[in-house]
Structure 1
């Protein structure tokens, strides 16, 4: 009889300890606001719209968009980006030409127009906001690490 009471007491203690631990973990996951409660949003950051090309943060990074794209239409039928960045329009617009890689299919076939897989520019290219990075960038360029360019002997 005493063993049953002792076992029941231990079970109750473990149950409440486990419940308290789960509640603590849940509060850490949900943050300061209870789940499903509305919280005020942070103000929208200001976009950098100075039309100055930005240094890339890592190799093969798609260039960021240095101008406003608010109101640009990107749909199956319309792509406003191409009105300036398509090869035949760059001389008049002064915009950089989109990369020749955007004219190549997955199979490596060169096309006369932008490949359908590269048509939606904002899948890779984004406007730059005036904010602090969410994660510290520890990328270091090879030249900062003491590696000379080929032929610089």
Structure 2
């Protein structure tokens, strides 16, 4: 009798597992099967407003608020520094590269941008004009702190 009950229990678990396996899960691939290559979406336009965007969390690298198509950033040249270097900001009206970018790994200040901070797109990215691909419940840290302080006042 125990064997029959155990067998029935195992069989019902397998059937339930098979039913669950058929449930569709929302993915960024859409209806494209895993074994197929889907058609890539069109490239979205880049935000090109030259307006400084608010950062979402402390120490977030600033977002690049303009197009950078064709910018050369390699060992021989860095197009970003043609506007953002210390010597060019008065002329370009672009924000200067942070002083942290002039420090070596030991904290010593250098005359020019540190090689560790030379390749801007390691940290800084452009923003595309797109709707979020998935729902997002991210809250800005300042908003969370305001909500907590408001709760404490009550």
TM-score class normalised by the smaller sequence: 0.7 to 0.9
- Distance in 2 (CA, whole Å) between partners of 1:107 and 1:18 is 59
Name 1:102's counterpart in structure 2: 101
Q: Tell me which residue corresponds to 1:116.
A: 115
Distance 1:115 1:141 in 2: 31
Matched ranges for 1:73-152 at <5 A: 73-133=72-132, 134=134, 135-141=136-142, 145=146
For structure 1, list consecutive stretches of 5 or more residues without a partner in the other structure. 1-5, 148-153
Q: CA deviation at 1:106?
A: 1.3
- Displacement of 1:40 in angstroms is 1.9
Distance 1:22 1:33 in 2: 20
Gaps of 5+ in 2: 150-154
CA positional deviation for 1:55: 1.1
| 1:15-54 correspondence runs (5 A) | 20=18, 24=22, 28=25, 32-54=31-53
Q: What is the TM-score with the length of structure 2 in the denominator?
A: 0.72
Query: 1:48-95 CA deviation, whole Å, 9 max, x = no partner?
Result: 101111111111111111111000011121110011101011111111
Q: Which has the larger radius of gyration?
A: 1
RMSD across aligned positions (CA): 3.4
Describe the SS at the equivalent of 2:62: coil
- What is the CA-CA distance between 1:34 and the residue it aligns to? 2.0
